[in-house]
Amino acid sequence: MAMNELFSFPAQVNEVSARLVAGFVVGLTLLYLATGNIWVLGFLAYGFVARVLTGPSLSPIGQLVTRVITPRLPVAEKIVPGPPKRFAQAIGATLSVSALILSLAGFTGISMLLVATITGAAFLESAAGYCLGCAIFAKLMAAGLIPEDTCEACNDLSRRPGFATTSS
């Protein structure tokens, strides 16, 4: 793997892996909400930051899911554009790092509220395949706040790998 590939987010993401990572996030957030363990929150925040910066490359959960779990599942991969997933990871990074800082400063209640928000969004992704961050990304693109060239595949299905065009 080249150094520039290690430190970049993938242009396409396997939705199956994204949902599995979200399942791990649900588990970590519930563990933090149940215990208040700052190390769990730190690991959660690190994971989000690592995934924003490098996709699964520097994320222990990302590595476990993409290298061990997903390849062993009897399901076909579902390739989706990467930029909306990165945006969703950035929201998770913002919330989890803020929660960590607030918790360290003694504002545990607000920290727990932010983590509960992550739990809800990660549960939607994991259980229902609904990416809240991706939906926000799409709304921001539609409003012109995110340039179309940020995610050309988001606008043009024919550019997505594995997309089969049908002719009449």
Q: Is the pTM of this model over 0.85?
A: yes
Give residue 112's pLDDT: 98
Give residue 148's pLDDT: 87
**Which parts of the chain have pLDDT scores under 70?**
1-7, 155-168
Identity of the residue numbered 117? T
Give residue 151's pLDDT: 86
- Cα-based distances in Å from 142 to 31, 79, 80, 133: 36, 22, 18, 14
Judge contact between 13 and 80, C-beta under 8 A: yes
Give residue 6's pLDDT: 59
